[in-house]
Amino acid sequence: MSDLEQEIKDLKKENKKLSIESKLRKSMAVELDRQKELLRQATEEVEAQKEKIEGISLKLSRYLPVQLYEQIFSGSLDIHKKSERKKLTIFFSDIVDFTSISEQIEAEEISEFLSFYLTEMSAIAEKFGGTIDKFIGDAIMIFFGDPKTEGDVQDAKNCVDMAIEMQLRIIALQPYIRKEFSFPVDLRIRIGVNTGFCNVGNFGSANRLDYTAIGRAINVASRLEAEAESGEVLVSENTKILLEDFFGFSTERVIHPKGVPHPVNCYSVAHEKSLNRESILGECFKLVINDANLTENDLNRLRAFVAKYTEQSEGKDSGERSA
Protein backbone atom coordinates (compact mmCIF):
# COMPACT_ATOMS: atom_id res chain seq x y z
CA MET A 1 0.00 0.00 0.00
CA SER A 2 1.33 3.33 -1.03
CA ASP A 3 1.83 6.24 1.36
CA LEU A 4 -1.05 8.10 -0.29
CA GLU A 5 -3.46 5.26 0.21
CA GLN A 6 -2.41 4.91 3.82
CA GLU A 7 -2.92 8.62 4.37
CA ILE A 8 -6.40 8.42 2.79
CA LYS A 9 -7.26 5.47 4.99
CA ASP A 10 -6.08 7.33 8.10
CA LEU A 11 -8.10 10.38 7.12
CA LYS A 12 -11.25 8.29 6.64
CA LYS A 13 -10.71 6.72 10.05
CA GLU A 14 -10.20 10.13 11.64
CA ASN A 15 -13.28 11.50 9.90
CA LYS A 16 -15.35 8.60 11.15
CA LYS A 17 -14.07 9.19 14.63
CA LEU A 18 -14.93 12.89 14.45
CA SER A 19 -18.39 12.04 13.13
CA ILE A 20 -19.01 9.71 16.06
CA GLU A 21 -17.79 12.35 18.50
CA SER A 22 -20.05 14.95 16.88
CA LYS A 23 -23.07 12.68 17.15
CA LEU A 24 -22.16 11.91 20.76
CA ARG A 25 -21.85 15.60 21.61
CA LYS A 26 -25.17 16.30 19.90
CA SER A 27 -26.80 13.43 21.78
CA MET A 28 -25.33 14.67 25.07
CA ALA A 29 -26.56 18.21 24.37
CA VAL A 30 -30.06 16.89 23.65
CA GLU A 31 -29.96 14.81 26.87
CA LEU A 32 -28.68 17.80 28.86
CA ASP A 33 -31.53 19.95 27.53
CA ARG A 34 -33.96 17.19 28.43
CA GLN A 35 -32.54 16.95 31.94
CA LYS A 36 -32.74 20.74 32.31
CA GLU A 37 -36.38 20.66 31.23
CA LEU A 38 -37.13 17.86 33.71
CA LEU A 39 -35.40 19.85 36.45
CA ARG A 40 -37.43 22.95 35.55
CA GLN A 41 -40.66 20.98 35.64
CA ALA A 42 -39.68 19.37 38.94
CA THR A 43 -38.84 22.80 40.42
CA GLU A 44 -42.19 24.18 39.29
CA GLU A 45 -43.94 21.15 40.79
CA VAL A 46 -42.08 21.60 44.09
CA GLU A 47 -43.01 25.30 44.20
CA ALA A 48 -46.64 24.48 43.41
CA GLN A 49 -46.73 21.84 46.15
CA LYS A 50 -45.01 24.25 48.55
CA GLU A 51 -47.64 26.92 47.86
CA LYS A 52 -50.38 24.32 48.29
CA ILE A 53 -48.94 23.15 51.62
CA GLU A 54 -48.53 26.75 52.80
CA GLY A 55 -52.16 27.42 51.88
CA ILE A 56 -53.33 24.33 53.75
CA SER A 57 -51.09 25.25 56.69
CA LEU A 58 -52.58 28.75 56.83
CA LYS A 59 -56.11 27.36 56.78
CA LEU A 60 -55.24 24.76 59.41
CA SER A 61 -53.76 27.44 61.67
CA ARG A 62 -57.20 29.03 61.92
CA TYR A 63 -58.71 25.83 63.28
CA LEU A 64 -56.05 25.04 65.90
CA PRO A 65 -54.65 26.74 68.99
CA VAL A 66 -51.39 28.45 68.03
CA GLN A 67 -49.40 26.29 70.49
CA LEU A 68 -50.80 23.07 69.02
CA TYR A 69 -50.25 24.30 65.47
CA GLU A 70 -46.59 25.01 66.24
CA GLN A 71 -46.11 21.54 67.70
CA ILE A 72 -47.70 19.85 64.68
CA PHE A 73 -45.50 21.64 62.13
CA SER A 74 -42.33 21.35 64.20
CA GLY A 75 -42.91 17.59 64.38
CA SER A 76 -42.85 17.56 68.20
CA LEU A 77 -46.50 16.54 68.66
CA ASP A 78 -47.08 12.90 69.57
CA ILE A 79 -50.58 12.07 68.30
CA HIS A 80 -50.43 8.70 70.03
CA LYS A 81 -49.89 10.30 73.40
CA LYS A 82 -52.92 10.03 75.65
CA SER A 83 -54.22 12.71 77.99
CA GLU A 84 -52.29 13.82 81.07
CA ARG A 85 -53.43 15.09 84.43
CA LYS A 86 -52.25 18.68 84.81
CA LYS A 87 -53.04 21.76 86.84
CA LEU A 88 -54.67 24.32 84.57
CA THR A 89 -56.26 27.71 84.94
CA ILE A 90 -59.46 27.70 82.90
CA PHE A 91 -61.30 30.71 81.46
CA PHE A 92 -64.87 30.97 80.20
CA SER A 93 -66.59 34.07 78.84
CA ASP A 94 -69.79 34.96 77.09
CA ILE A 95 -71.72 38.06 76.06
CA VAL A 96 -74.40 39.26 78.45
CA ASP A 97 -77.94 38.97 76.97
CA PHE A 98 -76.58 38.00 73.57
CA THR A 99 -79.71 36.05 72.62
CA SER A 100 -81.87 39.11 73.23
CA ILE A 101 -79.44 41.39 71.38
CA SER A 102 -79.21 39.07 68.37
CA GLU A 103 -82.98 39.15 67.96
CA GLN A 104 -82.79 42.92 67.40
CA ILE A 105 -80.03 42.82 64.77
CA GLU A 106 -79.92 41.47 61.23
CA ALA A 107 -78.34 38.01 60.87
CA GLU A 108 -75.61 39.35 58.55
CA GLU A 109 -74.58 41.93 61.13
CA ILE A 110 -74.52 39.33 63.90
CA SER A 111 -72.25 37.12 61.82
CA GLU A 112 -69.91 40.02 61.04
CA PHE A 113 -69.93 41.12 64.68
CA LEU A 114 -69.06 37.65 66.01
CA SER A 115 -66.16 37.40 63.58
CA PHE A 116 -64.92 40.81 64.73
CA TYR A 117 -65.45 40.09 68.44
CA LEU A 118 -63.82 36.66 68.42
CA THR A 119 -60.86 38.02 66.44
CA GLU A 120 -60.31 40.77 69.03
CA MET A 121 -60.54 38.35 71.96
CA SER A 122 -58.33 35.76 70.25
CA ALA A 123 -55.59 38.33 69.70
CA ILE A 124 -55.57 39.10 73.43
CA ALA A 125 -55.56 35.39 74.30
CA GLU A 126 -52.55 34.79 72.04
CA LYS A 127 -50.78 37.81 73.56
CA PHE A 128 -50.95 36.22 77.03
CA GLY A 129 -50.20 32.68 75.83
CA GLY A 130 -53.65 31.15 76.35
CA THR A 131 -54.68 27.97 74.57
CA ILE A 132 -58.00 28.65 72.85
CA ASP A 133 -59.96 25.43 73.31
CA LYS A 134 -63.17 26.30 71.53
CA PHE A 135 -65.76 28.89 70.52
CA ILE A 136 -69.37 28.03 71.38
CA GLY A 137 -71.40 30.70 69.64
CA ASP A 138 -70.41 33.87 71.52
CA ALA A 139 -68.78 31.88 74.37
CA ILE A 140 -65.04 31.25 74.58
CA MET A 141 -63.09 28.58 76.49
CA ILE A 142 -59.37 29.14 77.05
CA PHE A 143 -56.91 27.44 79.37
CA PHE A 144 -53.37 28.05 80.61
CA GLY A 145 -50.87 25.36 81.62
CA ASP A 146 -50.74 23.17 78.52
CA PRO A 147 -49.13 22.49 76.10
CA LYS A 148 -46.75 25.06 77.64
CA THR A 149 -46.68 26.26 81.24
CA GLU A 150 -44.90 29.02 83.14
CA GLY A 151 -45.83 27.53 86.52
CA ASP A 152 -49.13 27.57 88.41
CA VAL A 153 -48.88 31.16 89.64
CA GLN A 154 -47.78 32.72 86.36
CA ASP A 155 -50.31 30.70 84.37
CA ALA A 156 -53.09 31.97 86.63
CA LYS A 157 -51.77 35.54 86.48
CA ASN A 158 -51.57 35.43 82.69
CA CYS A 159 -55.17 34.23 82.59
CA VAL A 160 -56.54 36.97 84.85
CA ASP A 161 -54.41 39.65 83.16
CA MET A 162 -55.93 38.46 79.89
CA ALA A 163 -59.46 38.56 81.34
CA ILE A 164 -59.00 42.13 82.58
CA GLU A 165 -57.56 43.28 79.25
CA MET A 166 -60.55 41.73 77.48
CA GLN A 167 -62.97 43.64 79.72
CA LEU A 168 -61.07 46.89 79.14
CA ARG A 169 -60.94 46.25 75.40
CA ILE A 170 -64.69 45.76 75.27
CA ILE A 171 -65.21 49.09 77.03
CA ALA A 172 -62.86 50.83 74.59
CA LEU A 173 -64.69 49.31 71.60
CA GLN A 174 -68.20 50.38 72.66
CA PRO A 175 -68.55 53.39 70.30
CA TYR A 176 -67.27 51.36 67.34
CA ILE A 177 -69.56 48.40 68.07
CA ARG A 178 -72.65 50.57 68.53
CA LYS A 179 -71.95 52.33 65.24
CA GLU A 180 -70.71 49.50 63.02
CA PHE A 181 -73.04 46.70 64.16
CA SER A 182 -76.15 48.61 65.22
CA PHE A 183 -75.99 47.32 68.78
CA PRO A 184 -79.05 48.52 70.74
CA VAL A 185 -77.15 48.46 74.07
CA ASP A 186 -73.56 48.58 75.28
CA LEU A 187 -71.76 45.28 74.89
CA ARG A 188 -70.80 43.58 78.15
CA ILE A 189 -69.15 40.23 78.83
CA ARG A 190 -68.90 38.10 81.95
CA ILE A 191 -65.94 35.92 82.78
CA GLY A 192 -65.34 32.93 85.06
CA VAL A 193 -61.87 31.62 86.01
CA ASN A 194 -60.90 28.53 87.99
CA THR A 195 -57.66 26.69 88.73
CA GLY A 196 -57.57 22.94 89.24
CA PHE A 197 -56.45 19.56 87.97
CA CYS A 198 -57.81 18.37 84.63
CA ASN A 199 -57.16 15.69 82.06
CA VAL A 200 -55.74 17.45 79.02
CA GLY A 201 -54.57 16.06 75.71
CA ASN A 202 -55.89 14.07 72.75
CA PHE A 203 -59.42 12.71 73.00
CA GLY A 204 -61.44 11.02 70.31
CA SER A 205 -61.49 8.07 67.94
CA ALA A 206 -58.80 6.37 65.88
CA ASN A 207 -59.80 8.55 62.91
CA ARG A 208 -60.40 11.92 64.56
CA LEU A 209 -58.83 13.53 67.63
CA ASP A 210 -59.73 16.62 69.59
CA TYR A 211 -57.16 18.39 71.76
CA THR A 212 -59.03 19.62 74.83
CA ALA A 213 -59.31 19.47 78.62
CA ILE A 214 -61.97 17.77 80.71
CA GLY A 215 -62.70 17.48 84.41
CA ARG A 216 -64.54 19.02 87.36
CA ALA A 217 -62.33 22.12 87.29
CA ILE A 218 -63.67 22.87 83.79
CA ASN A 219 -67.25 22.61 85.03
CA VAL A 220 -66.55 24.96 87.94
CA ALA A 221 -65.04 27.59 85.61
CA SER A 222 -68.09 27.35 83.36
CA ARG A 223 -70.46 27.74 86.33
CA LEU A 224 -68.50 30.74 87.60
CA GLU A 225 -68.92 32.40 84.23
CA ALA A 226 -72.67 31.80 84.40
CA GLU A 227 -72.78 33.32 87.91
CA ALA A 228 -70.66 36.37 87.04
CA GLU A 229 -72.27 39.77 86.75
CA SER A 230 -72.08 41.97 83.68
CA GLY A 231 -68.50 43.17 83.20
CA GLU A 232 -67.21 40.99 86.04
CA VAL A 233 -64.22 38.66 86.27
CA LEU A 234 -65.24 36.04 88.84
CA VAL A 235 -62.54 33.67 90.12
CA SER A 236 -62.57 30.66 92.40
CA GLU A 237 -60.78 30.52 95.73
CA ASN A 238 -58.16 28.24 94.15
CA THR A 239 -57.24 30.99 91.71
CA LYS A 240 -57.46 33.79 94.30
CA ILE A 241 -54.98 32.05 96.62
CA LEU A 242 -52.40 31.99 93.83
CA LEU A 243 -52.87 35.67 92.98
CA GLU A 244 -53.37 37.54 96.24
CA ASP A 245 -50.05 39.38 95.75
CA PHE A 246 -51.05 40.64 92.33
CA PHE A 247 -54.73 41.63 92.35
CA GLY A 248 -57.39 43.15 94.55
CA PHE A 249 -60.46 41.02 95.24
CA SER A 250 -63.98 41.57 96.54
CA THR A 251 -65.24 39.96 99.70
CA GLU A 252 -66.00 36.27 99.50
CA ARG A 253 -69.29 35.07 98.15
CA VAL A 254 -70.57 31.52 98.04
CA ILE A 255 -72.42 30.00 95.11
CA HIS A 256 -74.05 26.60 94.65
CA PRO A 257 -73.44 25.87 90.96
CA LYS A 258 -75.54 23.25 89.25
CA GLY A 259 -73.70 19.96 88.75
CA VAL A 260 -71.02 20.75 91.37
CA PRO A 261 -71.49 18.67 94.55
CA HIS A 262 -70.25 21.35 96.94
CA PRO A 263 -70.52 25.14 97.43
CA VAL A 264 -67.86 27.21 95.67
CA ASN A 265 -66.20 30.24 97.25
CA CYS A 266 -65.58 32.93 94.66
CA TYR A 267 -64.32 36.49 94.37
CA SER A 268 -64.61 39.34 91.91
CA VAL A 269 -61.35 40.75 90.59
CA ALA A 270 -61.14 44.50 91.13
CA HIS A 271 -59.95 45.75 87.74
CA GLU A 272 -58.91 49.15 89.00
CA LYS A 273 -56.98 47.64 91.91
CA SER A 274 -54.90 45.21 89.91
CA LEU A 275 -51.41 45.55 91.28
CA ASN A 276 -48.46 46.53 89.15
CA ARG A 277 -46.02 44.61 91.29
CA GLU A 278 -42.38 45.65 90.90
CA SER A 279 -39.61 43.90 92.79
CA ILE A 280 -36.02 45.08 93.20
CA LEU A 281 -33.66 42.63 94.83
CA GLY A 282 -30.18 43.51 96.09
CA GLU A 283 -27.52 41.81 98.16
CA CYS A 284 -28.92 43.14 101.45
CA PHE A 285 -32.44 44.25 100.58
CA LYS A 286 -35.65 43.43 98.72
CA LEU A 287 -38.03 46.21 97.68
CA VAL A 288 -41.53 45.24 96.52
CA ILE A 289 -43.85 47.95 95.21
CA ASN A 290 -47.55 47.61 94.41
CA ASP A 291 -48.10 51.01 92.83
CA ALA A 292 -51.89 50.66 92.59
CA ASN A 293 -52.06 50.57 96.39
CA LEU A 294 -49.67 53.48 97.01
CA THR A 295 -51.18 56.53 98.67
CA GLU A 296 -49.67 59.94 98.02
CA ASN A 297 -48.16 59.84 101.52
CA ASP A 298 -46.63 56.42 100.82
CA LEU A 299 -45.21 57.70 97.55
CA ASN A 300 -43.64 60.75 99.22
CA ARG A 301 -42.08 58.57 101.92
CA LEU A 302 -40.69 56.25 99.25
CA ARG A 303 -39.21 59.20 97.34
CA ALA A 304 -37.60 60.54 100.50
CA PHE A 305 -36.19 57.12 101.36
CA VAL A 306 -34.67 56.65 97.90
CA ALA A 307 -33.33 60.23 97.85
CA LYS A 308 -31.69 59.79 101.28
CA TYR A 309 -29.77 56.69 100.27
CA THR A 310 -28.96 58.11 96.83
CA GLU A 311 -27.35 61.17 98.48
CA GLN A 312 -25.43 58.95 100.90
CA SER A 313 -24.19 56.80 98.04
CA GLU A 314 -23.14 59.81 95.96
CA GLY A 315 -21.34 61.34 98.95
CA LYS A 316 -19.49 58.09 99.57
CA ASP A 317 -18.43 57.86 95.92
CA SER A 318 -17.24 61.50 95.97
CA GLY A 319 -15.14 60.88 99.08
CA GLU A 320 -13.56 57.81 97.55
CA ARG A 321 -12.65 59.75 94.40
CA SER A 322 -11.10 62.58 96.48
CA ALA A 323 -9.01 60.10 98.46
Handedness of CA 105, 110, 114, 116 (dihedral sign): negative
Which residues belong to CATH 3.30.70.1230 in the chain?
Answer: 85-275
CA distance 298 to 288: 13
Q: Please give the mean pLDDT across all residues of the chain.
A: 82
The pLDDT assigned to 46 comes to 83
Among 40-44, 74-78, 171-175, which range has the highest average pLDDT? 171-175
Q: Which residue has the higher pLDDT, 209 or 272?
A: 209
Query: If we measure between CA atoms, which residue out of 117, 124, 127 comes closest to residue 187?
Result: 117
Residue 322's identity, in one-letter code, is S
Between residues 65 and 138, which one has the greater pLDDT?
138
As a whole number of angstroms, the distance between CA 159 and CA 127 comes to: 11
Q: For residue 88, is pLDDT > 90?
A: yes
Per-residue pLDDT at 278 exceeds 60? no
pLDDT tens per residue across span 89-134: 999 999 999 988 888 888 888 999 999 999 999 999 999 999 999 9
The per-residue pLDDT for 273 is: 45
Q: Which of 50-59, 124-133, 214-223, 260-269 has the lowest mean pLDDT?
A: 50-59
Sequence-separated (6 or more) residues with CB below 8 Å from residue 280: 286, 287, 288, 289
pLDDT in tens, 40-50: 888 888 888 87
pLDDT at residue 15 above 90? no
Split at pLDDT 50, 70, 90, the class of 65 is low
Measured torsion, CA atoms of residues 227, 186, 174, 129, in degrees rounded to the nearest 10? 10
The percent of residues in the chain predicted with pLDDT above 90, rounded, is 41
Residue 264 has pLDDT above 70, yes or no: yes
Quote the pLDDT of residue 281: 53
Q: Within 13 A of 258's CA, how many CA atoms are on the CB side?
A: 3
Fold for the domain defined by 85-275: Alpha-Beta Plaits (3.30.70)
Q: For position 68, what pLDDT does the model report?
A: 64
Alpha-carbon distances of 133 from 46, 68, 139, 210, 214, rounded to whole Å: 34, 10, 11, 10, 11
pTM of the model as a whole: 0.67
